Amino acid sequence: MKFEEIKGSYDLMVGLGSWCGPALHLRRHNLRRFSFPLDWVISNSLPDVSRLLKNRFQGFMELKNMKWTEGYAHLLDDGNAIFPPEGGTEPVNAHFIEDTYSNIISVHDFPVIPNQDWKVLYPSYKEKLNQRINRFLEKVENSSSILFIRWGVTNLNEAIELKSVLSEMAPGKFNILILNAVSGLQEVMPIDWGIDGIASIQVPLDNPNDNNIWDYAFQGLTLTDRWSK
């Protein structure tokens, strides 16, 4: 599928990782109406994401499979930084918490609070996550046209597997847009893999948050009023 062929209007646009970029820039372009379970996590392995989708998120982020891992990021509420209640210019930090079942890392959900274990806030986190999962499943099932966006695919077989899994979840028409970062590349380059429903662009590796990359990726895209509030 050629990159130009994904342009058009969709009921729903959904980020599938591997980091926050798809969600952040969909929102910047006013193409995002809902928060979904893969928006604010690190999901480096697409096969693990496909497995999670195939299983309808069963077992995802269960406490027994979660562990603290090295790394910190800012605490976010659906992409918005949370600042200390006593004031300050620096957002609260959050722990990196890995789900060993899915190999996906929560990076914005568990605040670093002195002398408090991250597990204390797990119940409220899991409640919010379940809401996002249920919303994802419901919207995907009831949308007639969807664009899924994924940053980072190792090979063509991974993309084909993802399409197969999504076809079992989305009864309507859907396309997949893949962005792959390539070392040494100076400009965005569309790549036609010759697979219906899958479009791909290669982008420079140096700055994945470059607005120009995402402006190029999302040009010509609009939302229908299917889920307008």
**pLDDT reading at 90 higher than 80:** yes
**pLDDT reading at 229 higher than 80:** no
| CA proximity to 2, closest of 188, 137, 138, 199 | 199
pLDDT value for 192: 93
What sign does the dihedral 195-21-205-103 (CA atoms) show?
A: negative
**Two tokens at 135?**
């919303």
Which fold would CATH assign to domain 3-57+134-223?
Answer: Rossmann fold (3.40.50)
pLDDT value for 188: 95
| CA proximity to 94, closest of 113, 69, 70, 75 | 75
Q: pTM for the whole thing?
A: 0.96
The answer to whether 29 and 214 have CB atoms below 8 angstroms apart is: yes
Strand order in the sheet with 12-15: 12-15, 145-151, 173-182, 198-204, 189-191
pLDDT tens profile 15-25: 999 999 999 99
pLDDT value for 86: 82
Indicate the domain borders of the chain. Answer: 3-57+134-223, 63-118
What percent of the chain clears pLDDT 70, i.e. is strictly above it?
100
pLDDT value for 174: 98
**C-alpha distance from residue 178 to each of 1, 46, 89, 155, 162 (Å):** 11, 11, 36, 11, 11
Q: From CA 33, how far away is CA 5, in angstroms rounded?
A: 23
The answer to whether 104 and 28 have CB atoms below 8 angstroms apart is: no
